[in-house]
Structure formats: C-alpha cells, structure tokens
Chain A
Amino acid sequence: MRAHSKDPTLSAPNAAGLALDARRERWIMLGLTAPALSLVTIIMIAPIVWLFSLSLLADDGTFSLEHYRRLLEQPSYRRNFIVTFEISLLTTAIAIALGYPLAYVLAQLPRRAASLCLIAVLLPFWTSLLVRTYAWLVLLQRQGLINKWGIAHGWWSEPLALVHNFSGTLIGTVHIMLPFLILPVYGTMKSIDGSLMNAAANLGASPARAFWSVYFPLSLPGLMAGALIVFILSLGFYVTPAVLGGGKVSMVSNRIANDIEIFFNWGAASALGVVLLTLTLIVVYAAARLLGLSRIAGAGHAP
C-alpha cells in the first residue's frame, strides 16, 4: 500500500478513508445476503403481495371489498375459522400434555440413551408428512390395525370411525406437531443448571415442590416457544385435514385451496389468505414480544 500523507493539522487523520473502508465492508457483507434475499423477495414476497391485491378487486377489476364482506356474511367461512382454531388449540394442548413428559424423561437420560431417543424423535420429524398422514390413514381405517386389535381384544365390538373425521385429523396433527414441541422443550431443559435442583432439595423441598417451584418455571421459555410454534404451524395445516378429514374437516387452508381449484374464485381465496396470514402474524408478533424472536427462529422448522 502506498504511504499516505498524514494530515498534520487535523486531529482526525484518515477519518474519511477509514469511514469509506467501513462502508465498503458493510456493503460487501450485505451483498453476501443479497442472492438469498432476492430469491425470497422475487419468488415469494412479491407474488404474495400481488396475490393479496386480488382480494381488493371485484370480478370486473374495480376496487372492491366484496370478498371481505362475503367472509363476514357467509356462515361457512365462520365454520372454517372455528374448525381451524379448534384443531390448532387442541393440537397444542395435547402436544403439551404428551410432549412435555417425554422431553422431561429424555432430558434425564444419559447421553447415549438420549441420543438414541432423539433420533427416534427426529426420524418422523424428517419423514414426509404425507407418508405419516398416509400411515395414520391405514392404521385408523375401519379394517385398520387399531380397529382390528380393539375388536380382537374385546375393547369394542363395532369398528370405530377413527378416520375421515375430526378425531382422525386431530390424531394426525398431534403426531406431526409433537416433535415441534419436544425439541425446544428438550433444549431448554438440558440447559437447566442441575445444581439448582440440588439446592432446592437441600433447602427441604419435596420432589413435587422442587419441580413446580424451580424446574417447571425454568422450562417455561422452551415450552412456550414450542407451544407457539405448534399453534402457528397448526393454523396453516392443509394436507392432514385433507387426507384424514374425509372432506368433513375444512380448515382455512383447505377452503382456500377449494376456492381456487373448484370455484376459480381467486378473490375469495386471496381475501381468506390475507386473514389467515394476518392471524398468523399477530400470533408471531405476540410470541416475539413474549419470548424474543431469536428463540423462536432457532427452535423449529415447518413441515
């Protein structure tokens, strides 16, 4: 590098040059993110904005709010939202009830056993949700394994209608969502300082007391992150209700798809989409305020 001449009179030599170097480095780093950013913007963000603009256009192309009006007026849409919330809330509740104990036991296991069990959790996680949904279709049908065993053991006499309805869908969604709850909870539990429970025992707490006063509150961030992820993802379910619901479980996603595939009603589908996305973003925002966005972003992925 050539020797620069100093500015002997100024008390801030090279300030301009250094600022230029800092800016240049920033631009290079931003440039590294540009390809990914462009792809996401062009392929997803722009089309979604484009799509949402359709919700504000009547069939003749003029500005209109009729699609949104129809959402409020027609009771069938209300049914879609009710079903969506029912599935999401129930899935979240059941996932917590089943997933928290499992995560707790996993967190207590020695490393080898825990690794093995984690593989058992991760494998379904990374198996296509369609394959898993199909497996439940097979298991839950009238001549499926569950009914066969139930009847063979005399637990019930007539084959139960376990699929092509709400219950079947719920079983499927819980199955898909469980790992999304278990992983963040497990992660948080592993980071709980063991000596805190020692201290609680030392101070005279009974096992139950120590758990509820010390352990549970510390595991709460992971639990809340997991629950929120499950809830948010459940809102957008499409495949599982379509396959296991037998047409009787129409969540918002299914309605959107129907509006497009069967009725070619892009306006209605778009309006519904806007509402769905808004709901999702509200929950995400609430979660971010409660927990900190970085915790959620690091905790899971979508099916």
Chain B
Amino acid sequence: MRWLSRPASATQVTHGSRLWLYALAAVVLAFLTLPTLVVVPMSFSASQYLEFPPRQWSLRWYESYLGSVAWLQATRTSFAAGALTTLVSTPLALMAAYGLNTLRGRWAAIIYAVLVTPIIVPVILVGIAVFYAYVRLNLVNSLMGIVLAHSILAIPVALMVIASALKSYDMSQELVARSLGAHRLKAFLLITLPQIRFAVITAVVLSFLTSFDEVVVALFVSGGDNSTLTRNMFNALRDQIDPTIATISTIMIVVSSLLLAGAQLFGRPKRH
C-alpha cells in the first residue's frame, strides 16, 4: 500500500489522492468493454428468451444458425462483400495516398477532402442516395452494388491510415532507390511499400471491417439473395428477438478480434 503515497507525476500529487480518478477510469473502461462481451455467453444459452446469465448451457442456437439457409447465405454475402470491398478500396486508397503525398499543395488538399466526405455525410443519406441511384441502375440487391457502396465508405478509412504512414515515412529512401537506378514504380514497390506494410495491412483489415460491420447502407442496398448479416440482424431485432442473433454477434466479435489481433501481430516491422 506504500504505492499510494508515492508521487504520480511531476506535480507530486500522490496516487492515493487520485484514487477516485483511477476508479472512474476503470469504470469507464469496463463500461466500454464489458457490455459487448455479454453477448458471448448468451449465445450458449439453452433458453429461448434473451437471458443473462444463461441458466443452462447449450449449442442449440449455433446448430440453428448452421441449419439456417438464410443465415448462412447472409454470412457468405457479408464475407464476400468484405473481401471484395477490401480488394477495391485498398489499392485505390493506396494509389490516391501516394499521388496526394507527392502532389501536396492546394489541389491535393481539396482532393483529400473530397475523398473523405463519405464518412462526414450522414450515413442515412449515403444509404438512400445510393439506393435511389441503384434502382435506376438495376444494382439493388446485387453483390457488386454492395461492394461499390461499401468501397466508398472504406476508401476514406484506408486513405487516412496510409496517408498518415506516408507522411511520416522518410522519402529520401525512395529517392536513393531512384538514384541507384529504379524507376518510380519499382522504387515504390521494392522500398517504400515494404516499409509502410503495417499501415497497408491495417488499411486492409479496417476496410474489411468497415464493410463487414456496416448496417445502414446495407439495409437499403442489400437484400434478396445478397442480404448481409447486419441487415438480417437488424430486421430480426425489430421483428422477433431470438438468441440466434447472439450467435451472429459472437461470430462478428470473433471476426473483428481475430483480424485486429492479426494486424497487430503480422504488421509490425521485424526487429533484429
């Protein structure tokens, strides 16, 4: 308990006199993290009603999920949409980030602002506008439609991550590579890209999650055979509440956690 009387900072305030601060911080941290985790044990509940903690444990809702054509179809759609969104948005964002980093100046700032607007505009408007356009283009309820719509939501995220990495990257390395005989593209691929690897991997993961987690646009744009997990989940929440939703939620939490952990583990630069 001697720790309590030790100074916590340069101003010599002790840990003891700040305990209320630590308690508050702990409470807020718990508030942030615990509620989401409630869903996981619930998915193993035997009961038909939403209850926590579950009185009896069972895998029946997982079985129900695996036996449901609709849910499996939705799962496939969500994963496919996520993967395709990543394939579209990450290269586009990478190219744009590099171009903007080289251009600098007023035009670069304007283009950057335009590319970031999809996350500033209220997402409901994006949803209904895209739906309105898709009705005329016959893209409603199509996978490609979902991918295109999610891509414009993912591009700003990927762009910000990669642009930030490029800003703190030492460009003289690419210059040296060019002086040694590599043209711009080769220098970028051989020297710059390996060094912003972490940012690109992060951008990939975040693009995927942006699509995978997305609700509002998917509500309007996906449907029929190409309905996403989130869309089905939202409708299920409004109509009838069954614990299969807990199962879906658990799966989504696991996917997010694994991807984020993977990005942290594999994206870091190697140390010798």
A and B touch in the complex (CB under 8 A): yes
Q: With an 8 A cutoff between CB atoms, is B198 at the interface?
A: no
Cα(A239)–Cα(B235), bound, Å: 11
Cα(A144)–Cα(B220), bound, Å: 31
Q: Mark A274-303, 1 if CB is under 8 A from B, else 0.
A: 001100110010000000010001100111
Tally of A interface residues using CB under 8 Å: 92
Q: Which residues of B contact A128 (CB under 8 A)?
A: 212-215, 230, 249, 252, 256
Pairwise interchain contact B32-A178, C-beta atoms closer than 8 A: yes
Pairwise interchain contact A210-B11, C-beta atoms closer than 8 A: yes
Cα(A101)–Cα(B19), bound, Å: 12
Task: Point out residues on A near B: beta carbons under 8 Å.
Answer: 26, 29-33, 35-37, 39-41, 43-48, 50-51, 54, 98-99, 101-102, 104-106, 108, 117, 119-124, 126-132, 134-139, 141, 143-145, 175, 178-179, 194, 197-198, 200-201, 205-207, 210-211, 232, 235-236, 238-239, 242-243, 252-253, 256-257, 260, 266, 269, 273, 276-277, 280-281, 284, 293, 297-298, 301-303
Q: How far does the Cβ of A92 sit from chain B's closest Cβ, in whole Å?
A: 16
Question: Which residues B1-47 have CB closer than 8 A to chain A?
Answer: 8-13, 21-22, 24-25, 28-29, 31-33, 35-36, 38-39, 42
Pairwise interchain contact B117-A44, C-beta atoms closer than 8 A: yes
User: Mind listing 23 A-B residue pairs with CB under 8 Å?
Assistant: A29-B99, A30-B111, A33-B100, A36-B159, A37-B96, A43-B148, A119-B264, A127-B36, A127-B253, A131-B249, A135-B38, A135-B39, A137-B241, A175-B35, A236-B123, A239-B215, A243-B237, A273-B122, A276-B122, A276-B124, A277-B125, A298-B160, A302-B120
Cα(A201)–Cα(B11), bound, Å: 5
Q: Which residues of B contact A31 (CB under 8 A)?
A: 99
Q: Which residues of B contact A211 (CB under 8 A)?
A: 11
Question: Which residues B80-137 have CB closer than 8 A to chain A?
Answer: 88, 92-93, 95-96, 98-100, 102-103, 107, 109, 111-126, 128-130, 132-133
Pairwise interchain contact B116-A123, C-beta atoms closer than 8 A: no
Main DSSP-derived SS at the A contact region: helix
Chain A residue with Cβ nearest B145 = A43
Cβ contact of A132, chosen from B36, B42, B125, B264, cutoff 8 A: B36
Cα(A39)–Cα(B121), bound, Å: 16
Cα(A252)–Cα(B123), bound, Å: 12
Main DSSP-derived SS at the B contact region: helix
Cα(A160)–Cα(B221), bound, Å: 37
Q: Which residues of A contact B130 (CB under 8 A)?
A: 43-44, 47
Pairwise interchain contact B125-A123, C-beta atoms closer than 8 A: no
Q: Which residues of A contact B11 (CB under 8 A)?
A: 197, 200-201, 205-207, 210-211
Contact flag A123-B260 (CB < 8 Å), given A102-B28, A108-B8, A132-B35:
yes
Q: Which residues of A contact B31 (CB under 8 A)?
A: 98, 175, 178
> 5 closest Cβ contacts across the A-B interface?
A236-B122, A32-B99, A128-B213, A207-B13, A47-B133
Pairwise interchain contact A131-B252, C-beta atoms closer than 8 A: yes
Q: With an 8 A cutoff between CB atoms, is B64 at the interface?
A: no
Pairwise interchain contact B152-A40, C-beta atoms closer than 8 A: yes
Contact flag A256-B213 (CB < 8 Å), given A40-B152, A126-B256, A179-B32:
no
Cα(A113)–Cα(B185), bound, Å: 40
Pairwise interchain contact A239-B38, C-beta atoms closer than 8 A: no
Q: How far does the Cβ of B42 sit from chain A's closest Cβ, in whole Å?
A: 6
Pairwise interchain contact B123-A37, C-beta atoms closer than 8 A: no
Cβ contact of B52, chosen from A43, A144, A175, A302, cutoff 8 A: A144
Cβ contact of B253, chosen from A43, A131, A293, cutoff 8 A: A131
Q: How far does the Cβ of B69 sit from chain A's closest Cβ, in whole Å?
A: 21
Cα(A258)–Cα(B134), bound, Å: 19
Pairwise interchain contact B122-A253, C-beta atoms closer than 8 A: yes
Contact flag A51-B132 (CB < 8 Å), given A33-B100, A105-B21:
yes
Q: How far does the Cβ of B116 sit from chain A's closest Cβ, in whole Å?
A: 5
Contact flag A201-B100 (CB < 8 Å), given A39-B148, A117-B29, A145-B52:
no
Q: Which residues of B contact A105 (CB under 8 A)?
A: 21-22, 25
Cα(A145)–Cα(B45), bound, Å: 14
Q: How far does the Cβ of B123 sit from chain A's closest Cβ, in whole Å?
A: 6
